[in-house]
Amino acid sequence: MCAVPATARIETPIGMIELVAVGDALTSVRIFPETGNEWAHRQNSALECAVDQMRAYFAGQRKFFDLPLESAASQEAHQMRCAIAAIPFGETATYGAVAQRVGTIPRAIGQACKINPFPIIIPCHRVISSSGREYYSAGAGPETKAWLIDFEAVHSHGIRTRLL
């Protein structure tokens, strides 16, 4: 028997965030730049925990997430996800620096960020370009990325470190 997805949408400063869980794991996070009504489709402990942690993040009270996430598709994807998640709150790292830590190329990190099913939780917004041109596939794109980086800078006591 297949588990039924549980879904919630919450209002945040960057728009609506939709969280989906199946069974005891979060399966996706999507950011919609528009606003709307909050709602929860069905009760699920993983989903409730994700909603609580997301609210605490946007209240400036949480700097990391501790949630059961759906497994990555491959060992390589898992390693890239871990490298991105290791970038501390309020800090950034270039695609090249993250790639070097994993033993891959910057383009692979860019693709991992692009298909990241857990934006904010796996903080791909903290991965930046060394050329200055920014991309972001969630929410309103680079505007959302800039907002998240600035928000974290403010909530990390104004200290922001760019790792090269």
Residues in the chain: 164
Q: Where in the chain is CATH 1.10.10.10?
A: 75-163
Q: Taking residues 14-35, what's their average pLDDT?
A: 92
**Pairing outcome for strands 127-128 and 25-32:** unpaired
| Pick from 55-59, 76-80, 137-141, 152-156: least confident | 137-141
Fold for the domain defined by 75-163: Arc Repressor Mutant, subunit A (1.10.10)
Confidence label for 164 from pLDDT (cuts 50, 70 and 90) = very low
Q: pTM here? A: 0.89
Active site residues: 124
**pLDDT of 61 above 90:** yes
Which of 24, 18, 117, 23 is closest to 67 using CA atoms? Answer: 24
Residues 42 and 20 sit within 8 Å (Cβ to Cβ): no
| Pick from 71-75, 118-122, 137-141: least confident | 137-141
CB under 8 Å to 106, separation ≥6 — which residues?
94, 95, 96, 98, 99
Give the residue ranges of DSSP H helices in 103-141.
106-114
